[in-house]
């Protein structure tokens, strides 16, 4: 790798030469090289006439020749390849610092090979269009992974440049870049055929056109996230499913226009799906989940929260076809009953995380089945399951999962749960957090007893703290110092 890049370096140096000075100056002011040029120009320009500037620059060049470049001991000892290799382990900030050391380091630090994976989340407010264009110009084909999460000022123009200059991008995160429209996806599909992961979370201007163009140009796509893009309908998803058969992960939270038909298409064409999140797609019906279960038997993560039209049929289909399910989130699916969970508990033995928030019909029977059938449960949410009683908790606490794996148990708004449940839970040695908000039969005494058995546990309930809160303005001395002395 280093040899290959060395050739690139040699050629790159001549064209970067002029940037060096500018970059060095700018970074001194805690700006990174990818920041816009016009900001730099705002600095006051010294009042020399051009003749004087020229002579100063000449002197500087003569002076620095003696110290710079290859004469520095570290540069003598280490070949460029090694320095480059060392740089490849640094993060964005350290690289930018190294770029300020000398001209040769500047070239090495800003070499595209060090910038294969970039995450600009920490600089989201500063990242603007010209920065992205600079990055894409520098990195070119090296860029594999770019996260622009939360960079709201990014628009289509700069993304187009990026797609043109960096054809090898594999993983692109545009979470929350709200200005982005279908144009970006069209240029991505045109130039970046290697794209594997694309996150378009909260890019609300995205429509079906994007998905259609992606399905044309990015056949390698394996992960896609179109959460909260509310314009997306079944036709877009259908096109995507046809064009990208390698899809492993499909996340579409809050896309209300996605229907059963869209999900059936996904199931038919993308048999490798493992992660599916359909939170809040409230139009989905049983036939969609049945198709999913039938075709995609590798699914291990499934979120159907808020799909309130689903009934037991869905869960039973899942239980029969998807034995590897490890995470199941069905918050707000209020039609599920004990029978479905019984079937599920019998066949899905690898379940680790279950969110049963607001499955109001389930009773202690579900807990009994889960405790017998699923020994790996770590995380269990039973919020708003109002029929759960101490008896269910007792069975849960006696099960094999409770003793070893159970770490989080959410029981908020279960009005029948009493202190006796907490007594049972003392046998869950791994338990780290229990939510008990609004369980009005729980008392402070019960919580104290639980704490005495499991000292590291976090119990969340609406109880005022026993210790008074620290005074808001910081403690002030009651007497002045001289009074204290007296």
Q: Report how many residues bind another protein under the rule CB under 8 A.
A: 27
Distance CA 396, CA 391 (A): 9
Range in contact with another protein (rule: CB under 8 A) among 81-89, 90-98, 387-395, 458-466? 458-466
275 three-class SS: strand
Q: How far apart, in whole angstroms, are the C-alpha atoms of residue 353 and residue 406? A: 10
Residue 371 CB, shortest distance to another protein, in Å, is: 26
Q: Is 125 in the site for another protein (CB under 8 A)?
A: yes
Rounded to a whole number of angstroms, the minimum distance from the CB of residue 217 to another protein is 30
Sign of the C-alpha dihedral, residues 90, 93, 95, 97? negative
If one asks whether residue 471 binds another protein (CB under 8 A), the answer comes out as: yes
Site for another protein in 154-193 (CB under 8 A): 176
**Residues in region 413-442 near another protein by CB under 8 A:** 436-440, 442
CA atoms within 13 A on the CB side of 115: 25
Question: At 323, phi and psi to the nearest 5?
Answer: -75, -15
Reduce the DSSP state of residue 438 to 3 states and report it: coil
Q: Does 448 bind another protein (CB under 8 A)?
A: no
> For helices 156-165 and 182-191, what crossing angle results, to 10°?
10
CA 87 – CA 96 distance, rounded (Å):
10
Q: Is 462 in the site for another protein (CB under 8 A)?
A: yes
**Does the footprint of another protein cover residue 452 (CB under 8 A)?**
no
Name the DSSP letter for residue 468. Answer: P
Residue of 122, 245, 323, 349 that binds another protein (CB under 8 A)? 122
Decide: is 121 part of the binding site for another protein (CB under 8 A): yes
Name residue, tokens 């110290």.
67
Spatial distance between the Cα atoms of 104 and 327, rounded to a whole number of angstroms? 51
Q: Is 57 in the site for another protein (CB under 8 A)?
A: no
Q: What angle do CA 346, 292, 239 make, to 5 degrees?
A: 165
CB of 257: closest distance to another protein in angstroms?
Answer: 22
The span from the CA of 407 to the CA of 434, in Å, is 9
Q: Which stretch binds another protein (CB under 8 A): 8-16, 134-142, 398-406, 466-474?
A: 466-474
Of the CA atoms within 13 Å of residue 160, those in its CB half-sphere come to: 7
Contact window for another protein (CB under 8 A) among 55-63, 122-130, 239-247, 337-345: 122-130
By CB under 8 A, the residues from 128 to 157 that bind another protein are 150, 152
Q: How far is the C-alpha of 445 from the C-alpha of 451, rounded, in Å?
A: 10
> Which of the ranges 184-192, 301-309, 365-373, 457-465 carries the binding residues for another protein, by CB under 8 A?
457-465
Q: Which stretch binds another protein (CB under 8 A): 184-192, 233-241, 263-271, 459-467?
A: 459-467
Minimum CB distance to another protein, residue 78 (Å): 37
Contact between 472 and another protein by CB under 8 A: the answer reads yes
Which of residues 124, 231, 282, 432 is near another protein by CB under 8 A? 124
Q: Rank residues 176 and 243 by Cβ distance to another protein and give the closer one.
A: 176
Contact 363, 392 (CB under 8 A): yes
228, 253 contact by CB (below 8 A): yes
Q: Which residues are CB-contacts of 400 (< 8 A; sequence separation ≥ 6)?
A: 375
**Cα–Cα distance, 51 to 48 (Å, whole number):** 8
Decide: is 119 part of the binding site for another protein (CB under 8 A): no
Q: Which is nearer to another protein, 190 or 460 (CB)?
A: 460
Q: Which of 191, 190, 256 is nearest to 229 (CA)?
A: 256
Smallest distance from the beta carbon of 305 to another protein, in angstroms?
A: 16
82/445 with CB nearer another protein: 445
Residues 293-352 that bind another protein (CB under 8 A): none
Q: Quick one: which of 289, 343, 374, 459 contacts another protein (CB under 8 A)? A: 459
Q: What's CA 289's distance to the chain center, in Å?
A: 26
Examine residue 469 and tell whether it contacts another protein (CB under 8 A). yes
Q: What is the nearest approach in angstroms of another protein to the Cβ of residue 468?
A: 9
The least distance separating another protein from the CB of residue 124, rounded to whole angstroms, comes to 6
- The CA R_g of the chain, rounded to the nearest whole Å, is 30
* Contact residue for another protein among 4, 44, 465, 485 (CB under 8 A): 465
Quick one: angle between helices 2-28 and 80-87, nearest 10? 70
| Beta carbon nearer to another protein, 390 or 438 | 438
The nearest distance, CB 34 to another protein, in angstroms, is: 18
Q: Are strands 408-410 and 379-381 parallel, antiparallel or unpaired?
A: parallel
The residues of the shown chain that bind another protein, judged by CB under 8 A, are 121-122, 124-125, 150, 152, 176, 436-440, 442-443, 458-465, 469-473
């Amino acid at each position: 790798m280093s040899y290959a890049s060395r050739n690139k370096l040699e050629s790159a140096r001549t064209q970067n030469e002029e940037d060096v000075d500018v970059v060095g100056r700018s970074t001194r002011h805690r700006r990174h090289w990818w920041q816009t040029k016009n900001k730099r120009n705002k600095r006051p320009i010294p009042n020399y006439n051009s003749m004087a500037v020229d002579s100063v620059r000449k002197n500087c060049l003569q002076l620095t020749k003696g110290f710079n470049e290859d004469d520095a001991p570290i540069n003598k000892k280490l070949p460029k390849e090694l320095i480059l290799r060392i740089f490849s382990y640094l993060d964005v900030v350290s690289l930018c610092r190294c770029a300020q050391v000398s001209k040769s380091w500047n070239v090495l630090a800003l070499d595209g090979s060090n910038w294969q994976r970039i995450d600009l989340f920490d600089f989201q407010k500063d990242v603007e269009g010209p920065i992205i264009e600079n990055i894409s110009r520098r990195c070119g084909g090296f860029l594999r992974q770019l996260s622009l999460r939360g960079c709201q000022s990014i628009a289509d123009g700069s993304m187009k440049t990026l797609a043109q200059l960096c054809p090898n991008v594999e993983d692109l995160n545009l979470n929350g870049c709200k200005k982005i429209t279908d144009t970006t996806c069209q240029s991505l599909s045109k130039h970046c055929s290697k794209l594997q992961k694309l996150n378009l979370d909260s890019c609300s201007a995205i429509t079906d056109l994007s998905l259609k163009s992606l399905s044309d140009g990015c056949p390698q796509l394996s992960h896609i996230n179109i959460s909260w893009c509310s314009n997306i309908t079944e036709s877009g998803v259908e096109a995507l499913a046809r064009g990208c058969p390698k899809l492993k992960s499909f996340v579409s939270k809050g896309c209300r226009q996605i229907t059963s038909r869209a999900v059936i298409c996904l199931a038919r064409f993308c048999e490798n799906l493992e992660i599916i999140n359909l939170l809040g797609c409230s139009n989905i019906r049983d036939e969609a989940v049945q198709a999913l279960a039938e075709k995609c038997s590798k699914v291990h993560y499934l979120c159907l929260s808020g799909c309130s039209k689903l009934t037991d049929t869905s869960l039973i289909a899942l239980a029969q076809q998807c034995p590897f399910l490890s995470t199941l989130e069905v918050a707000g699916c209020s039609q599920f009953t004990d029978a479905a969970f019984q079937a599920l508990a019998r066949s899905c033995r690898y379940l680790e995380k279950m969110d049963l928030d607001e499955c109001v019909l389930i009773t202690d029977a579900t807990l009994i089945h889960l405790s017998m059938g699923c020994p790996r449960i770590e995380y269990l949410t039973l919020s708003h399951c109002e029929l759960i009683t101490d008896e269910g908790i007792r069975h849960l606490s006696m099960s094999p999962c409770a003793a070893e794996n159970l770490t989080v148990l959410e029981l908020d708004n279960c009005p029948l749960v009493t202190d006796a449940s907490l007594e049972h839970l003392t046998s869950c040695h791994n338990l780290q957090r229990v939510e008990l908000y609004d369980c009005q039969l729980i008392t402070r005494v019960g919580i104290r007893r639980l704490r005495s058995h499991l000292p590291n546990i976090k119990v969340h309930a609406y109880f005022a703290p026993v210790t008074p809160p620290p005074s808001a303005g910081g403690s002030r001395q009651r007497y002045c110092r001289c009074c204290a002395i007296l």
